[in-house]
């Protein structure tokens, strides 16, 4: 067992770290403020600054873990986690933006046909379009049985899509939207959770104003309104009724990306606190001379590095345990690993960011010193794509059912 990155992984790590310093850090204020962009329906939406988005695509980060034939780099989940972590170390907003790009693409990569991948995966990996992933609704959090978005079959064989989705990242960007809706089975009348892809800003598609959040100011979320959107069967992912399995599979991998965001948030907060403590003087010497400062720094880094190891171990497990649509056992095993890592990393981000502010005293709560930005971003960590408690329950249920603590 080697606790070190291989040559390619180290190269990706260094590239991402340099990108964060050269491209992201000088543009933090622009990223947090957003940039107004006119989209295909003529409306103006607030987005991540276009030059940042284009740089992520040109560097290959958006398509890092997707096949080269669809404009990806063909690397694995370990490399994906490394990139998201290092970008989040400087801007959790950019790390989260990249993560949700990848989340929607995971669904297409896992469950789309080759023709669908050519249509949707390839232009998103190259940065021409931006994907969204939509499950959450006003009346449902993690329960597919509470879905209200519905597909209704018409006499001409097409379908009408109606419903509302909530807190959807990238909903104000042009590109494909992966979503889940109920479709009544023609024989039994039973509602089937069905995955499909539509083009954002098609006829019948509209969005709210972006939600004003405590953190992740540079990665925006909207409500989506769908009013009689026409859908054809070639827009389905798989067949009607496959949606719940597709949701589980996509989020099993998706939890890893959020884990990397939270790990980067913790490490970034610790970086800021360490730099401050090294530069802050007491009687001509750095305050790192004090045992209390040393204790804080060590505790922060112990939490952060533990979360980092869990993240990378889960990423490696993903790379060695690929699953198909009907391989529920492997899917559940991957989900348990990523859920455990995500739950711990979310908890760690909030702890470490708060400790960083406290290590800096009054300066920690001032905008100029940046630590408060990490506290605001970390506050969202236990409450995004499934609460922190739910992650531990997913892992715990798997352990209890399988009698395996590994």
Whether 118 maps to a domain, the answer reads yes
Residues 271, 393: one domain? yes
Residues 174, 297: one domain? no
Whether 308 maps to a domain, the answer reads yes
Domain limit, last residue, from 177, 209, 237 = 237
Residues 144, 266: one domain? no
3-state secondary structure 200-226: CCCCCEEECCCCCCCCCCCCCEEEEEE
Rounded distance between C-alpha atoms, residue 77 and residue 257, angstroms: 9
Q: What is the CATH number of the domain that holds 50?
A: 1.10.540.10
Residues 168, 252: one domain? no
> What's the pLDDT at 1?
63
Domain limit, last residue, from 217, 237, 257 = 237
Whether 59 maps to a domain, the answer reads yes
Whether 181 maps to a domain, the answer reads yes
Q: DSSP secondary-structure letter at 235?
A: G
Residues 90, 202: one domain? no
Instruction: List all residues 6 or more positions away from 23 whose beta carbon is below 8 Å from its beta carbon.
Output: 52, 55
Rounded distance between C-alpha atoms, residue 233 and residue 275, angstroms: 56
> What's the pLDDT at 120?
97
pLDDT digits (tens), the chain, 406 positions: 678 899 999 999 999 999 999 999 999 999 999 999 999 999 999 999 999 999 999 999 999 999 999 999 999 999 999 999 999 999 999 999 999 999 999 999 999 999 999 999 999 999 999 999 999 999 887 677 789 999 999 999 999 999 999 999 999 999 999 999 999 998 898 999 999 999 999 999 999 999 999 999 999 999 999 999 999 999 999 999 999 999 999 999 999 999 999 999 999 999 999 999 999 999 999 999 999 999 999 999 999 999 999 999 999 999 999 998 789 999 999 999 999 999 999 999 999 999 999 999 999 999 999 999 999 999 999 999 888 899 999 999 999 999 877 6
Helical H segments across 112-238, by residue range: 114-116, 122-125
Number of domains composing the chain: 3
Residues 75, 156: one domain? no
Residues 295, 393: one domain? yes
> What's the pLDDT at 123?
98
Residues 94, 215: one domain? no
Helical H segments across 59-181, by residue range: 77-88, 92-111, 114-116, 122-125
Whether 115 maps to a domain, the answer reads yes
Name the region of 79 (left: φ>0; alpha: ψ -120 to 50; beta: rest): alpha
Tokens 């939600």 — which residue?
211
Residues 39, 115: one domain? yes
Whether 2 maps to a domain, the answer reads no
Residues 263, 391: one domain? yes
Q: What is the CATH number of the domain that holds 335?
A: 1.20.140.10
Give the range of the structural domain holding residue 107, as residue numbers without chain letter: 7-130
pTM of the model: 0.96
CA distances for 87 relative to 1, 181, 218, 265, 332, angstroms: 27, 33, 13, 9, 29
Rounded distance between C-alpha atoms, residue 46 and residue 216, angstroms: 13
Whether 202 maps to a domain, the answer reads yes
Q: What is the CATH number of the domain that holds 204?
A: 2.40.110.10
Whether 156 maps to a domain, the answer reads yes
Residues 223, 318: one domain? no
Q: DSSP secondary-structure letter at 329?
A: H
Domain limit, last residue, from 77, 111, 130 = 130
Residues 154, 229: one domain? yes
């Amino acid at each position: 067992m080697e606790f070190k990155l291989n040559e390619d992984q180290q190269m990706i790590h260094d590239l991402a770290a340099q990108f964060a310093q050269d491209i992201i850090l000088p543009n933090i204020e622009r990223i947090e403020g957003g940039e107004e962009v006119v989209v295909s329906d003529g409306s103006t939406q607030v987005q991540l600054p276009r030059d940042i988005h284009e740089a992520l695509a040109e560097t290959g980060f958006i398509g890092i873990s997707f096949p080269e034939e669809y404009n990806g780099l063909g690397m694995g989940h370990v490399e994906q986690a490394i990139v998201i972590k290092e970008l989040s170390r400087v801007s959790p907003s950019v790390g989260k933006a990249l993560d949700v790009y990848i989340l929607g693409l995971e669904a297409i990569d896992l469950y789309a046909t080759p023709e669908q991948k050519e249509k949707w995966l390839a232009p998103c990996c190259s940065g021409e379009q931006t994907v969204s992933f939509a499950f959450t609704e006003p009346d449902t959090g993690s329960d597919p049985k509470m879905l209200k978005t519905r597909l209704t079959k018409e006499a001409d064989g097409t379908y009408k899509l109606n419903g509302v989705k909530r807190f959807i990242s990238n909903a104000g960007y042009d590109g494909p939207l992966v979503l889940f809706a109920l479709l009544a089975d023609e024989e039994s009348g039973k509602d089937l959770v069905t995955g499909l892809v539509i083009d954002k800003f098609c006829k019948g598609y509209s969005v709210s104003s972006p939600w004003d959040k405590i953190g992740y100011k540079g990665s925006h979320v909207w409500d989506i309104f769908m009013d009689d959107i026409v859908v054809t069967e070639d827009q389905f992912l798989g067949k009607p009724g496959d949606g719940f399995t597709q949701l589980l599979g996509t989020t099993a991998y998706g939890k890893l990306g959020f884990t990397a965001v939270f790990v980067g948030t913790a490490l970034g907060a610790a970086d800021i606190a360490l730099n401050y403590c090294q530069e802050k003087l007491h009687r001509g010497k750095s305050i790192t001379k004090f045992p209390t400062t040393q204790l804080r720094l060590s505790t922060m880094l112990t939490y952060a590095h533990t979360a980092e190891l869990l993240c990378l171990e889960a990423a490696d497990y993903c790379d060695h345990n690929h699953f198909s649509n009907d391989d529920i056992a492997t899917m559940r095993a991957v989900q348990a690993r990523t859920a455990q890592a995500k739950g711990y990393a979310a908890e760690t981000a909030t702890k470490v960011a708060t400790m960083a502010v406290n290590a800096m005293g009054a300066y920690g709560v001032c905008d100029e010193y940046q630590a408060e930005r990490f506290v605001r971003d970390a506050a969202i960590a236990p409450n995004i794509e499934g609460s922190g408690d739910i992650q531990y329950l997913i892992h715990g249920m798997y352990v209890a059912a399988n009698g395996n603590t590994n």
